[in-house]
Amino acid sequence: MPELPEVETVRKGLEQLVVGKVIEKVTVHWPRIIEEPDVPLFCQLLKGQRILAIQRRGKFLIFKLTDHDLVSHLRMEGKYEFFPEATTAQLTKHTHVLFDFTDGSQLQYRDVRKFGRMALLAKDGADSYKGIQQLGPEPLPDQFVLQEFKKGLRRSHKAIKPLLLDQRLVTGLGNIYVDEALWQAKIHPEQPANTLTDGEITTLREAIIDVLARAVTAGGTTIRSYLNALGEAGTFQLSLNVYGQTGKPCPRCGREIIKIKVAQRGTHLCPNCQTLRVGKPRQPVGKISPVKPGSQEKGPSEHHVKHPLMSKNSFILGVTGSIATGKSTVVEVFLEQGIPVVDGDIVARQIMEPGQPALAQVAKTFGQTVLQSDGGLNRQALGEIVFSHPEKRQQLDQLLDPYLRQEIIRQLQEAAKAAPLVVADIPLLYEKGYEQYVDQVAVVYIPREIQLHRLMERDGISEKAATQRIDSQLAIDTKAERADWVIDNQGTREETRQQVTAWLLQRKKGLPLRK
């Protein structure tokens, strides 16, 4: 994800390329990129506007126009490409917005994941934009005031890393630069904010200012696909001390750099230079101890005890997540490896097939109109009854739960007879108490912001509707805290696949293999 140095470098590039140009036409290929106003009005209002300046606030770009402010948030992989001649401009499947200028040049907004957003506001109205209103000061000596920073830290019990990522105490810090600043200040990422000494706070403020300033000078950090508006890669990755340096010696003391999870973010640190004074440091990511007889890897003994109905000779892994977190990607890897999967969604459909007792009970409770002429379930008719009446939906859930639970247990028992490892794919595993039937729980995790936009894109629904659906389930962060294993699914499909494959390799030694 572009962080402040990358966005600042994009701003500088665009400043060289498009300031002074007049917009002749705007074309939008992916309407959801435009937050406000609606797309036809967006295109109409931009016609004839001159770009007077390009500013930045946090990670937001602000195009100052003749009569408007255009706010652009690149988010995960948004980028701008400039073409001196529109006639020679290359359109790709990731080109979503085109700005044609009166001099024949063209600026394209490209976004592989389509998470970026634009909003056209009244002149000088960028400060009132919802994302900008909540931002803390810029990480500059004259704006990032030490006393205010101290006050903010004193008020919070949170670990210092997620607090800095929140953007309210100081803006512009993302995962890369938080790790670098904390290493430079010799502060452990999990150190509670209100336990930092005055000296540590002063050093940390100086480190934040220094790290971000050096990164801006270097043009940002090229980790994956980042290029600036001039098509150039950043070079700050050549100066990284801890981020992405797992297993390498610390430049300061020589101790091996480790990677842990903090607030579900990959976090790099030196265990010698950055010691945690409160609490117990987390174990490095990927170093899972083999299961010893009579013990568990991490959390089952703390969180749940396997139900006596379940097999003691097979290891059952519960896989869950939340809506639009990408659980199916993880389950595919297990299936490819020949590992049996009991899918809760499939079981739910099976118990509602013609002739099944659950379907008969539903028809008895809600009327014969929920059945088709062939005796199958009329899902539309049932949906019209239950989704507009919360009490009837609850009644349906209570009616089906015993049938669903009985069949899931039966299928898990059958699978466990033939395989040393079984996966239970249960969407509402925690909400329905299914953790008692598994040895461990793996949660497929993405940050809420990404989850929200994935759901909006996938189902074509509004942000409000997507928020309501997400909030109807247990929060993904709460699930991640309870899990034995968190699968970070905010990267590429291949990165997710590698996490699952690595876990499988490490589990082999602990599996109760059959003769």
Specify whether 447 is catalytic.
Answer: no
2 carries an active-site annotation: yes
Q: What is the dihedral angle through the alpha carbons of 276, 280, 284, 290, rounded to the nearest 10 degrees?
A: 160
Is 94 one of the annotated binding-site residues? yes
Residue in this structure with the two tokens 């109205």, named with its chain if needed: 125
Q: HSE, CB side, 13 Å, CA atoms: give it for residue 38.
A: 1
Is 327 known as a binding-site position? yes
Task: Say if residues 170 and 204 touch (Cβ distance below 8 Å).
Answer: no
Is residue 265 part of the annotated active site? The answer reads yes
Q: Does residue 210 contact residue 183 with C-beta atoms inside 8 Å?
A: no
Distance (Å, whole) CA 276 – CA 272 = 10
Handedness of CA 419, 420, 426, 432 (dihedral sign): positive
Pair of tokens at residue 19 = 């300031």
Helices (H), 19-121: 39-46
Is 329 known as a binding-site position?
A: yes
Q: What is the DSSP letter of 22?
A: B
Catalytic residue, candidates 3, 6, 138, 180:
3
CB-based contact 473:479 (threshold 8 Å):
no
- Beta-strand (E) ranges in 194-303? 258-262, 265-269
157 belongs to an annotated ligand binding site? no
Q: What is the DSSP letter of 509?
A: G
Among 11, 57, 59, 507, the active-site one is 59
Pair of tokens at residue 343:
């899918």
Peptide bond into 37 cis (omega under 30): yes
The Cα 370–Cα 339 span in angstroms is 36
Instruction: Choose, from 2, 162, 300, 340, the residue flagged as catalytic.
Output: 2
Residue with tokens 């607030």: 263
325 carries a ligand binding annotation: yes
Sign of CA dihedral 494, 265, 166, 187: negative
Which residues contact residue 326 at a Cβ distance below 8 angstroms, ignoring those fewer than 6 apart?
444, 446, 454, 489, 496
Annotated active-site residue in 79, 161, 265, 306: 265
| Catalytic residue status for 251 | no
CA–CA separation, 136 and 145 (whole Å): 11
The phi-psi region of residue 206 (left if phi > 0; otherwise alpha if psi is between -120 and 50; otherwise beta) is: alpha
Helix (H, G, I), strand (E, B) or coil at 455: helix
Beta strands in 117-186 (DSSP E): 117-122
Closest listed residue to residue 189, CA positions, set 248, 113, 271: 271
> What positions carry a catalytic annotation?
2-3, 59, 265
Residues annotated within a binding site for DNA: 94, 113
Residues annotated within a binding site: 94, 113, 324-329
Residues annotated within a binding site for ATP: 324-329
